[in-house]
Chains A and B, each alone.
Chain A
């Protein structure tokens, strides 16, 4: 790329500051405070471990980056492809964790979770091994990002279609339940009328 993008500007700005002492001290203090708060809240059961663990890891990373700015410099110096792969890996991990928690708390049934888990796993694997998307990138001659978008879009369409199928099925069930309800009420009223006549 010839023209610097806004992301490059941001990372350059951050890398310049990362060499200076004061922001590093601030970042280290914030990270340690966050780590302590997370541990205390988890101990007193004010937050769940599924929230506390990622927060704790992020805080630890913040402290680590403040102590050794090599990580930040490495992040700035990475290629576009690596940053995209990192972003995809993080997003797919987020999807997997949220889906798993929803199944665990019985908010989501396994048959609907299946599509989300497959999508999350596939994007995670493709971000780790970009060669798997070679079919799309080489044959269609599109960049890696477009291939990831194609993959995610396909699965989103399949998930949406699965939802439409489930909705139609549930609609049919609802009609049958409502009709059965009406029939039962009519029979009940008839029985009550007969009882009223028999025992005044």
Chain B
């Protein structure tokens, strides 16, 4: 990536997707950025639709806007098994977070500065997106989803293969369950409103 002019943070060891994204958040906080957009390297997230996320964030004063692959009548999930699993997780998360979530594992995120501060300290490892959504709601941050047209995957494989699905279900289920009873971290909660969701 460096030959094309992009700055790359080279981690000396493999921290997984959670650790890598958290490194990005820490770098953004240090450099003083206001907002950060996360785009995965497999080509699925369309940079052309970032303005949609920015519009929604400005309009509703949110801390996080998620680009969802559902809602524009397209099916990008490879197997029916994963499709059903993601729909179940989306329903469960919608109930916990009390807002409509259709794509819990989407990585196409636009994040505000206060939320960047929180994530640079506490970000889950191993399939972080669903757990991060539940955590940020608990700390009082506001989020919304925007339907976005995803592109087909250019390179790489999904991180959830056959047996990974069971580990994913177990890990996310346990994490969501425990996060319901975890103490709220007052230092990183959104000022003005703590959601005891």
A177 touches B12 (CB 8 A): yes
A111 touches B12 (CB 8 A): no
- Residues of A102-119 contacting chain B, CB below 8 A: 103-104, 106, 109-111, 113-114, 117
A111 touches B13 (CB 8 A): no
A110 touches B171 (CB 8 A): yes
Interface status of B175 (Cβ within 8 A of chain A): yes
B178 touches A111 (CB 8 A): no
Bound CA span A117–B178, Å: 13
B182 touches A104 (CB 8 A): yes
Q: How many whole Å from B129's CB to the nearest CB in chain A? A: 15
B182 touches A111 (CB 8 A): no
Bound CA span A110–B131, Å: 12
What are the residues of chain B within 8 A of A173 when measuring CB–CB?
12-14
Query: Which single residue of chain A is at the shortest CB-CB distance from B131?
Result: A110
Interface status of B105 (Cβ within 8 A of chain A): no
Interface size on A, residues (CB 8 A): 16
Bound CA span A110–B13, Å: 20
Interface status of A180 (Cβ within 8 A of chain B): yes
A110 touches B175 (CB 8 A): yes
Contact with B along A161-195 (1 / 0, CB 8 A): 00000000000110011011000000000000000
Number of A-B contacts (CB under 8 A): 30
Interface status of B194 (Cβ within 8 A of chain A): no
Bound CA span A176–B10, Å: 12
A109 touches B125 (CB 8 A): yes
Bound CA span A178–B182, Å: 34
Interface status of B170 (Cβ within 8 A of chain A): yes
Interface status of B181 (Cβ within 8 A of chain A): yes
Bound CA span A179–B14, Å: 15
A176 touches B12 (CB 8 A): yes
What are the residues of chain A within 8 A of B126 when measuring CB–CB?
110-111
Known contacts A176-B12, A176-B13, A177-B12: does B181 contact A111 (CB below 8 Å)? no
Bound CA span A110–B12, Å: 24
Query: Which single residue of chain A is at the shortest CB-CB distance from B185?
Result: A106
Bound CA span A158–B106, Å: 34
Chain B interface residues (CB < 8 Å from chain A)? 12-14, 125-126, 170-171, 174-175, 178, 181-182
Q: Closest 5 A-B residue pairs measured CB to CB? A: A173-B13, A180-B12, A176-B12, A103-B178, A176-B13
Task: Give 27 pairs: A residue, B residue, CB < 8 Å, sorted on A.
Answer: A100-B178, A103-B174, A103-B178, A104-B178, A104-B181, A104-B182, A106-B182, A109-B125, A110-B126, A110-B171, A110-B174, A110-B175, A110-B178, A111-B126, A111-B171, A113-B174, A114-B170, A114-B171, A114-B174, A117-B174, A172-B13, A173-B12, A173-B13, A176-B12, A176-B13, A177-B12, A177-B13
